Structure 1
Amino acid sequence: MVQIGKMLKVDKMTRGSKYFIVALGHQEGRMKKNPAGKRGGIKDRLKAGSRDLTEALRRSEAEKTAILQGLRGLVNVRYLDPELRVVWDNTARTELGAGDRAKSKDYCYRVIRGRTTPCTFSCTPQESLKDGMMKEREARLEDGRVFVERSNPVKGNSGAVEGVVFITLNITKHKRAEQELTRQEAEVVRKSRQLAETNTALRVLLRQQEGDQRELEERIVANVNQLVLPYVRKLKGMKLNESQLSYLEVAETNLRNIVAPFLRQVVSNFPHMTTQEIQVAALVRDGKSNKDMAELMNISLNTVESHRHNLRKKLGLQNKKINLRSYLLSLSRAPKSQPFSVPE
């Protein structure tokens, strides 16, 4: 009996008999009698069966060729005999190597690796031929390319291994992409660690700066209270005219503002204010009129009004029914760590 791809099946024929069996396709054969009882009828049927067998073999080979050509460029498929000779393959060129593709049925280690002797390292075709099991591994060539190799044994009716289908897939691009991704992930981790260390150092410097600033403020407050304000009070006890007394009161007020949170908060929260605007803000807070401020600052009344307008604009009070002095007084009562907001 001969069976090929389950496409054609020819069972036994008895020479010289009037009966023979022919089964085509998947149908079972059955006994048929030669109507004429002549040998010529048997020969005709044998020729027809032979033609069908040949056609089935041709179709099977065409299907195999189409499948192999369809896989060309995606995977390399080679059929190796038990001696590791390449019987056929689907490669248009030597994808893996340094071998000579012109040699018909040459050994795979010559065609693929360019070697003169069998591979001494792990070889999936040899392992598959040895134990009859499918083998797969990842192979890295000396030029840096990486392949997945798979060997599937082909067994005969007796169960003996008659050859190996050796499949290779080039995964070099995939591996390089993995390596690049791993490198980038490591770089992200390194930069994240570096950024965390920088943030820690900045927080330490910031705390140190805040401590230095508090120490400086405390020293200024102590100096003003102990070295300046006592002499201001002594000057106020002297015989001063009204103008001199006004100037002295302004100086005392400003000195007290220096050691009080008001000016620090104004400068910190409204850095775009000019020096004269800060002076006007301090005088407005002390309840001075526009005329008093013009005389004390030696500027015109229109300039004072312009400064007040700019103050309301920079403080966010423009077009709002909020008293400027009341708002400035609220600044000194607000916690230093909280930003000032304009009440609606």
Structure 2
Amino acid sequence: MKKGAKAATAALLAFGLSGVCASASYGEGSAFKDVPGDFWGREAIEWAVGDKFVDGYPDGTFKPAQAVVQNEFLAMLIRAYRPADFKPDPGSPDWASPYVDYASRLGWPVVQTSDIDRNASARKGLTRGRAAQLLASASGRHYSVDDSIRYLLDVGLAEGKEARTPEGFGKDDTLSRAEAVTFVQRLKVNESRLRPSPGSLEVYDLSKLNTVAYANKTYGYSFKLPAEWEGQIDIEEEGTSVRFIHRASKAAAGGLLFSVNVGLEEDYEQTNELIRTVYLGAKGDRHVYICYPSDVQYSLEDAKLSAEYHDLSDGIKSLKPTFQWK
């Protein structure tokens, strides 16, 4: 075997992209003997393996605590989304080059493969802070590491280890495989596609991103909508529900982006079992929560309107941190 091909094969095996997936069952239904049934990241791991963007190892393990390097994390992100304009190169002696090149074209802050040997940090495990920066970039932002962490914490893409701060987030800690697939899963829930990152560095300020206020006078709650939604949505209040509708898609397919409902705790629990929801808060016995539509609300034949709908829908994640009771 040639030296380059041998190195590439070793890298693939180390990453778990070799196509080998454990099929045996280990303890409490887990597919991997080192991922017990009560492991915090089990659901995300099984989702990632089921989605076929990362695999386990031939010995029946997943190695959830193993460190992830930059190129492995990029491959996870891109393989999870399968963008139509991504062109893999199976014959390349360097398996990672297509992923790094694609991320570079999108403007993400990556260390080029050719520079890794000269960049000691790139050869080590990716830090959680750098992972946050890549996730923010994949969401169409261009922030510093600290601002990327603040953004992820605000929109629910991440949680702090000890506190909701860059330090409490553990920005200098090495990213593990279990953490990596959990981040990818959360991004997939909140972003419909991988986005290019702006060329210039931005300063994160949620109050400036979300500037359009909505206040419900009947139940006394409010939140702020993304600035880019202004003039593009209709708001329909009916009883305990408020519907936010993409105006351009309304006539053709319904256009519902989401609704905000007020109900008892059991109402929320029953709804959460049926459709995707985001819990906002409670006051007394009143629980407020976002409901995503249960069917397609945009025209599949109109690519422009579909893109507009998805761009607006991706902004829903920023509503929760602005929610408050009057």
Greater per-residue helix proportion: 1
Normalised TM-score (structure 2) = 0.21
Of the two structures, which has the highest relative contact order with CA contacts closer than 8 Å and spacing of 6 or more?
2
Q: Which has the greater radius of gyration? A: 1
Normalised TM-score (structure 1) = 0.20
